[in-house]
Amino acid sequence: MLVNQRTVAEIVRFEGKGLHTGTFSRIAIHPAPADSGIVFVRTDLDSPVKINALAENVTSTARSTTISNGDVSVVTIEHIMSALTGLGIDNALIEVEGVEIPILDGSARPYVEAIKTVEQDAPRRYVEIPEAVEVKDEQSGSFVRIEPADSFSASITVDFSSKVLGVQTASYDEQTDYASEIAVCRTFVFFHEIEFLLRNNLIKGGDVDNAIVIVEHPVSEEQLAFVSSVLGDKKQIAVTSEGYLNNLTLHFPDECGRHKLLDLIGDIRLAGGFPKAKITAFKPGHGINTTAAKAVRQLVNNQ
């Protein structure tokens, strides 16, 4: 079946602070011509700088995905890239006033709720995988395998050796309702990680509304009070019987696994479009995801 390209039907705007930098930013997602792909533009500089959303432009995967053009970067693009993919958007121009995409509620839901799409008079250009490719991290055991297929699908297994999370699996294909099953799933962090990051001023934009916090080890009232004070919570933070902070209620028992799938979808989109591929991933993360997208780019470009 012939599928045409799509773009956003109208300009959509968002604003807020970045999770990692804590800096306030504004973004505007504009319609874009057919065959232009996804392009970010830093408009807060003396001269606007365009950065194509492609794997070869990835410059950091430390807790999020960053793309750059020279010394100009846009940080934490994975959620918006995932949303655009889940909505079937081929082309968009994203103006960014600031260095980091706003974290919003930690998921892709704000995007899918606000964005309307429109069909364009051009057939979709798929990323056709000529042969299977697999990238591995021998130290962690992580891998991402990408195989040729007639349509896009992804299955992941998440294992943090966590008694709270356990081993979680999640999958996506063209029959999945991305908006209700994937987009709503929020980012997550372990309490011991967030406490360290907060004490060392390394996570400046976190608050109680944009992350699931997993409590893997016993914590004291003093630790809870410290995190509560830094995150600006208005109520007493406590640990639930399931092992999470009570700042949020889970949408799904496996919401954390589904969020890792959300991230994977956004990172793999950096292969340059909608891949006709079956993806299988174990312990995926931004580093190995974007390495896999880069390997696909190299395969396709070398045909």
Q: How confident is the model at residue 238 (pLDDT cuts 50, 70, 90)?
A: confident
**Is 53 part of any domain?**
yes
**Is 137 part of any domain?**
no
Q: Name beta bridge partners: 41.
A: 50, 95
**DSSP label of 134:** E
**Is 183 part of any domain?**
no
**Is 287 part of any domain?**
no
Domain holding 73, by residue range, is 4-125
Cα–Cα dist 296/268, whole Å: 9
Residue with tokens 């995905």: 65
**Is 77 part of any domain?**
yes
pLDDT at position 195 is: 81
Residue 208 identity: V
Q: What are the φ and ψ backbone dihedral angles of 297, each rounded to 5 degrees?
A: -55, -45
Split into its structural domains, the chain has a count of 1
- Overall average pLDDT of the 6-33 stretch: 95
**DSSP label of 60:** E
Active site annotation includes 286:
yes
Tens of pLDDT, residues 167-178: 999 999 999 999
Burial string for 197-216 (b: 16+ CB within 10 Å, else e) reads bbeeeebebbebebbbbbbb
**Is 78 part of any domain?**
yes
- Classified as helix, coil or strand, 275 is strand
Range list of H helices, the chain = 78-86, 109-114, 178-181, 191-199, 221-231, 255-268, 286-301
**Is 181 part of any domain?**
no
Q: How confident is the model at residue 182 (pLDDT cuts 50, 70, 90)?
A: very high
Residue 274 has pLDDT above 90, yes or no: yes
Of 137, 130, 171, which is closest to residue 154 (Cα–Cα)?
A: 171
**Is 86 part of any domain?**
yes
Q: How confident is the model at residue 37 (pLDDT cuts 50, 70, 90)?
A: very high
Residue 12 CA to its chain's centroid (Å):
19
| Tokens coding 118 | 């429109």
What Rg, from alpha-carbon coordinates, does the chain have? Answer: 19
Tens of pLDDT, residues 128-153: 999 999 999 999 999 999 999 999 99
CATH number for 52:
3.30.230.20
Q: How confident is the model at residue 33 (pLDDT cuts 50, 70, 90)?
A: very high
Tens of pLDDT, residues 79-137: 999 999 999 999 999 999 999 999 999 999 999 999 999 999 999 999 999 999 999 99
